[in-house]
Structure 1
Amino acid sequence: MEKGKVHVVVLAYHGQGHINPMIQFSKRLAAKGIHVTVATTLSNTKAIQSASSSIVFESIYDDCAEGGVAGPGGFRGFLDRFEASGTRNLTHLIRDSERPVKCLVYDANITWASSVASHMGVDRAAFFTQSCAAIASYYPMHCELSEVTPSVPAFSLPGLPEIGLPNLPSLGPDTGRYPPIIRYLLQQFDNSVNADWVLFNSFDKLEEDVVSWMSKLWPVRTIGPTLPSIYLDNRVEGDDDYGFNIHKPNTDTCMKWLDSKETGSVVYISFGSNANLNTEQTVELAAALKQSNNSFLWVVQPSEESKLPTNFHDKNSDKGLVVQWCPQLEVLAHHAVGCFISHCGWNSTMEAISLGVPMVAMPQILDQMTNAHFVEYVWQVGTMTKSDEKGVTRRDEIKRCINEIMEGERGQEIRKNAIRLKVLAKEAIDEGGSSDSYIDEIISHLMVA
């Protein structure tokens, strides 16, 4: 079969952190001649500004009309509506396609996707948007909740901090040993057990030991980093941006300001698209930045601005810039940025690693705790802040971590490690690299299947 006749449907979950890596994977497939249809929610399709001409976007659920996560029944209601509408419309999309669909690539969080693929007789690829290590940390909980004997011993993660739990509108009653959000996350294991491939936005040399352990459970393939090609190998024509943003970035303001700064002099701060620092933590962070010797660029979304100290913008305009959103990849790639204070969401972590930027890790919830642990203790490309008994990281601690990277002797070693991982990330996705080879392997299978 010719490549151009191979049709893959990619089923993406809602939200920027989920859809961006799956769109980038879709671009990689399309650049190799595969026809790709990205099926997702209507709000996602509306937020997409650009992508490959070989990719078609189809809405399988009108979350705009039904209020999305904020609609009736909260998060649980959204999931139920997405499943009912998505199952029906995805089945129609696969059945009625003029180009026969060979494979469904689905976000592992979408628990009903594997059943649709099985029913339609197409290959299945579960796509994880969290790190291999984070998923490995969930494995003992999955076995306990499912009342199954682990097929392999749990992966050892000594010293891993406890995971925090997010505040969601609703996910059902909080009963049993594990809260609803954990039970929901653990369904990813059931959704992947029969998959033909289990894909991760990572690369072998980044999580080598975890990947080796996980390969005993699943047919794991690391296909990352899933950054726009211009930041890695430049082999995907015109791929200089994700093409999806839930907020409009202050690009000109950010880049002109950074251009005026010296190399490695700026601390960049962002807590992702779902940032929700409490007021006390915001005030402590603001004080640390004010007292620091470094210039800073801080992303504070409109919903968070009221938590800032009074007149913070005006009082610190000489050394800092506060914006509502920024082009993060361009910022991290800029020579002026010396470190990145981050919540350690997996996309942000992979971006920092791929662009060689040291990190001050301030994790908040779930997989961020695992990612932050690896940033300091495994990859040694940053330092993780410590919180007090109230769960707040104080200004002196934040300043300590900034100084350790920007001024301290350990910072030199951290920067060397960051550059080393940057090189490995590029090698992984370069032609013939491990991640690129895995993508070719999947395509070759689909061409003869």
Structure 2
Amino acid sequence: MPTESHVIVLAFPFGSHAAPLHTLVRKLATAAPDVSFSFFNTAKSNSSITALEDHDIGNLKAYNVADGVPENYVYTGKRQEDIELFMKATPGNFKRAIEVAIEEKKISCVMSDAFLWFAGDMAEEMKVSWVPLWLSGQFSLSTHFYTDLLRDMIGIGTHAIAGREDEPLDFLPGMSGFHIEDLQEGIVFGDMESPLSIMLHRMGQMLPRVAAIAINSFEELNPTITNDFKSKFQKCLNVGPFSIMSSVPSDSDESGCLLWLDGQKTASVAYVGFGRLMTPPPHEQAALAEALEASGVPFLWSLKDSLKVNLPYGFLDRTKGRGNVVSWAPQLRVLAHPAVGVFVTHCGWNSVVESVMGGVPMICRPILGDHRLNGRMVTDVWQIGVGIKGGVFTRDGTMRGLDLILSKEKGKRMREKIGAIKEMMEKAIGPQGSSSENFKTLLELVSMCKAS
């Protein structure tokens, strides 16, 4: 029997975007069996999600969209080349896939990764609601929403911010703890004409048109920003953090990380992981390896096999037993293991949330995007981690960070502060918590939407 409500979901297939979006849609589909959900994503990204998740929900179906890469295309090695090719293909690739998959079936709501601003135009053409999802914290969404104001107040380009990097963003609601230098590339410095920068600027301008925006965070993280968004958007629904509300079975442990951790002392191990796409440059990987070796700290390092060439000669042999370098680690489970005492991270939003849930302080080495904002939150606002001097790994600077967190009183205080934040997160996603209540509102919204 056909369902009245049919929600199409448009994913951004890069980094760690598509998986948490799929986690939320799975939860919606499970809670609303009479609503159909069609998930549109590239074949490569869809297959990586299916490798992690068991697709056993009858009202949720995944469809492939073209990735924009021409046949026999030879990559030039340009940064974000795959993203540029994909963005050139949008929104046509989504429209074509939707036409083929949906045929005569009516659409009642368009959900999308918030990056894909054109989904708002598509929803308007269909005369249905648009509900984008922001997959990071509120503060990074705020800077994109206020991009035009930031450019007016600060100026544009490196010359405009020279000497002003430490100035606080105190003219934005709830952002006084952040500095100009923490902003994402493409807002007031960096390449403002890149496809990604243009896309995010356009997204910020489109946000007032949303029926609702769902955010991968919780209201209590920053009540000032939460209230500001509630006054600016029709509905602002913090429904996260997604990574700790997934009903999907935990990642497998093919590398035997957890068994290795079982043999280590409580809160003694440094876990090093930089996400799927982000890695510090080779000389910093070498400096980090030197610090781990010289410190004597047991370590677990998730590092792609292709990057092991950047490690100092003989490093793997000299640290064998005390160190464990694996090509992939089940991060959520690793950070929850009692042996892990510090997390060396790029400060991606999911990584920060997972570290808090594991009760693990962080050594922060932001790389791009929202990492600097997240890092500032960790080091200065929450005070549950340390940055590294000059923002780059050096042998001595990294050793100082490891010693401070693992051996000093300050590390103990960080763990206590993390406990309070973890409690706040758990309460938000608990039975009567703010994120759970907002999820009910989101569920009601997409379930009640009817095709025009």
TM-score (norm 1): 0.84
* Runs of 5+ consecutive residues of structure 2 not aligned to the other structure: 154-169
**Aligned residue number for residue 276 of structure 1:** 279
| Counterpart selection for 2:363 from 334, 337, 360 | 360
**CA RMSD of the aligned region, Å?**
3.1
Distance 1:37-1:159 versus aligned 2 partners, 3 A rule: closer
Render the CA deviation track for 1:271-301: whole Å, top value 9, x for unaligned.
1111231122111111111122421001111
Residue 380 (str. 1) matches residue 383 (str. 2): yes
| Counterpart selection for 2:172 from 147, 154, 158 | 154
Contact 1:42–1:63 (8 Å) recurs in 2: no
Distance 1:311-1:165 versus aligned 2 partners, 3 A rule: farther
Distance 1:158-1:417 versus aligned 2 partners, 3 A rule: closer
What is the CA distance between 1:31 and its match in structure 2? 2.6
- More moved, 78-87 vs 361-370: 78-87
Give the distance between the partners of 1:176 and 1:315, measured in 2 at CA: 41
Give the distance between the partners of 1:21 and 1:275, measured in 2 at CA: 18
Contact 1:71–1:78 (8 Å) recurs in 2: no
Contact 1:300–1:325 (8 Å) recurs in 2: yes
**Aligned residue number for residue 437 of structure 2:** 437
**Aligned residue number for residue 200 of structure 1:** 215
What is the CA distance between 1:266 and its match in structure 2? 0.7
Residue 240 (str. 1) matches residue 249 (str. 2): yes
| Counterpart secondary structure, 2:249 | coil
**Aligned residue number for residue 9 of structure 1:** 8
Residue 56 (str. 1) matches residue 56 (str. 2): no
Contact 1:299–1:326 (8 Å) recurs in 2: yes
Give the distance between the partners of 2:267 and 2:413, measured in 1 at CA: 15
Residue 27 (str. 1) matches residue 26 (str. 2): yes
What is the CA distance between 1:3 and its match in structure 2? 13
What is the CA distance between 1:141 and its match in structure 2? 2.8
Residue 348 (str. 1) matches residue 347 (str. 2): no
Distance 1:191-1:159 versus aligned 2 partners, 3 A rule: closer
| Counterpart selection for 2:130 from 99, 110, 124 | 124
What is the CA distance between 1:226 and its match in structure 2? 0.5
Give the distance between the partners of 2:77 and 2:269, measured in 1 at CA: 44
Distance 1:377-1:86 versus aligned 2 partners, 3 A rule: same
| Counterpart secondary structure, 1:126 | strand
Give the distance between the partners of 1:182 and 1:410, measured in 2 at CA: 38
Distance 1:70-1:132 versus aligned 2 partners, 3 A rule: farther
**Aligned residue number for residue 104 of structure 1:** 110
Distance 1:206-1:159 versus aligned 2 partners, 3 A rule: closer
| Counterpart selection for 1:78 from 76, 86, 98 | 86
**Aligned residue number for residue 167 of structure 2:** none
Give the distance between the partners of 1:138 and 1:42, measured in 2 at CA: 29
What is the CA distance between 1:62 and its match in structure 2? 4.8
Letter in 1 for 2:216: N
**Aligned residue number for residue 201 of structure 2:** 186
Distance 1:121-1:66 versus aligned 2 partners, 3 A rule: farther
**Aligned residue number for residue 418 of structure 2:** 418
Q: How does 1:169-318 map to 2 (within 5 A)?
A: 178-180=192-194, 181-218=196-233, 219-227=235-243, 229=245, 236=247, 239-241=248-250, 251-318=254-321
Letter in 2 for 1:178: M
What is the CA distance between 1:9 and its match in structure 2? 2.2
Give the distance between the partners of 2:377 and 2:73, measured in 1 at CA: 34
Contact 1:108–1:191 (8 Å) recurs in 2: no
Letter in 1 for 2:426: K
- More moved, 70-79 vs 297-306: 70-79
**Aligned residue number for residue 164 of structure 2:** none
Q: How does 1:389-408 map to 2 (within 5 A)?
A: 392-408=392-408
| Counterpart secondary structure, 2:256 | helix
What is the CA distance between 1:269 and its match in structure 2? 0.5
What is the CA distance between 1:15 and its match in structure 2? 2.1
User: What fraction of aligned residue pairs are identical, expressed as a percent?
Assistant: 25
Give the distance between the partners of 1:45 and 1:162, measured in 2 at CA: 35
Distance 1:116-1:159 versus aligned 2 partners, 3 A rule: closer
Render the CA deviation track for 1:28-75: whole Å, top value 9, x for unaligned.
212312442211111112222224522211112255775799499934
Give the distance between the partners of 2:144 and 2:32, measured in 1 at CA: 36
**Aligned residue number for residue 246 of structure 1:** none
Q: How many residues align?
A: 419
Distance 1:241-1:161 versus aligned 2 partners, 3 A rule: farther
Contact 1:68–1:78 (8 Å) recurs in 2: no
Distance 1:275-1:77 versus aligned 2 partners, 3 A rule: closer
